[in-house]
Every structure is written in structure tokens, then in C-alpha cells.
Amino acid sequence: MDKQDIERLAKLEAEIKAMRDLIMKMDNKLDTWNKTFIPRDEINEMFRSRDKEINELTQNLEKFREGSTTKWEQLWSKSVWFLIGILGSILTILLKETLG
């Protein structure tokens, strides 16, 4: 073998070593990534579960708002009629005293 062949082999060996090191780094990164990877099915199930909980909470909140609004409306209407009755009584008494 002459000198050029030896130099070419040395370059090829260096390139092969660099490629091997790169492949080992990529393999290590892939192993690390696989440890933290969540499969698509698990993510889909997680999102489905989250969406279901959000829908249930939204429905419960709407029911609560409807129920509380109805109760407040009933209470408000009863209070208004009660106050109208009291004001009517006061006006009647004042008119009797003023006119009478």
C-alpha cells in the first residue's frame, strides 16, 4: 500500500468513527425521547376525558345559573309585591290623614 491509500483509509476511519459517534448520540436521544413519549391513543383518551369533564362542568354551571336565576326571580317578584302592598297601605293612610 502506498502513502495515499493509507491516508485515504485514515480519513475513512475518522469519518466512520464520527458517523458512529453521531449514531450513538442519536440513539441516546431517541431512548430519552421514547421514555417521555406519550402514545397518540393515550393523548386522545386524555383529551376525551378532559372534554367530557369540561362539558359536565359547563352543564352543571348552566343548571346552577338557571336554578339560581329562577329562585332570585321568584324572591324578587315576591319582595316587589310585598313592598307594593306596604307602599299602598302607607299611601292609603297618608291620603286618609290628609283628606280626612
Domain boundaries in the chain? 3-72
State pLDDT tens for residues 38-86: 888 999 999 999 999 999 999 988 887 777 666 667 767 778 888 888 9
Share of the chain above pLDDT 70, in %: 91
In this predicted structure, the answer to whether residue 21 has a pLDDT above a threshold of 70 is yes
Amino acid in the structure at residue 45 = E
In this predicted structure, the answer to whether residue 24 has a pLDDT above a threshold of 90 is yes
Note the pLDDT of residue 5: 86
Note the pLDDT of residue 9: 92
Rounded to an integer, what is the distance from CA 13 to the centroid of its chain? 54
Per-residue DSSP letter, 100: -
Those residues whose C-beta lies under 8 Å from the C-beta of residue 38, and which sit 6 or more positions away, are: 46
